[in-house]
Amino acid sequence: MVKSERDAIIAYGERMQALASKSSSPLQGSNSKAEKLSSAMIDLEQKRLEAVRRRQEDEIAKIMTREQAMVDLQLKIKHAEDEEARKKREHEKKVAEMKAQAEKKKAQRLLELAKQVILSYYLRILSFNP
């Protein structure tokens, strides 16, 4: 949209220059005045077009800056999400390891308890005198 508007303004300026260079005044005495006036109009139009071009370039630069900021923000969010997922996986791995260790300790305690019960049972049998 901005580019098409700029192109239209440039085309208008070129048409104005072409008309100014082709036009001839019917009054020969005022020809130099007409040329000066035409030249002044062309200069004003060129200045206006240059100001429009600068505004458009500034606007495009601002748009590009905002787009780059959005890209940077999206990359930052993606990185944070990846980091969060990595930490979650590590946490789940640690929890699973802790559960496995707890189960192993529980099994060992049960085994020790069973050994004690069996030992106690055998000792009773050995000490039993009918």
- pLDDT one-digit tens code per residue, 93-105: 999 999 999 999 9
Residue ranges per structural domain of the chain: 2-96
Calpha distance 98→123 (Å, rounded): 37
Q: How far is CA 82 from the centre of its chain?
A: 15
3-state secondary structure of 26: coil
Calpha distance 130→125 (Å, rounded): 10
Structure confidence by residue, pLDDT tens digits, 49-81: 999 999 999 999 999 999 999 999 999 999 999
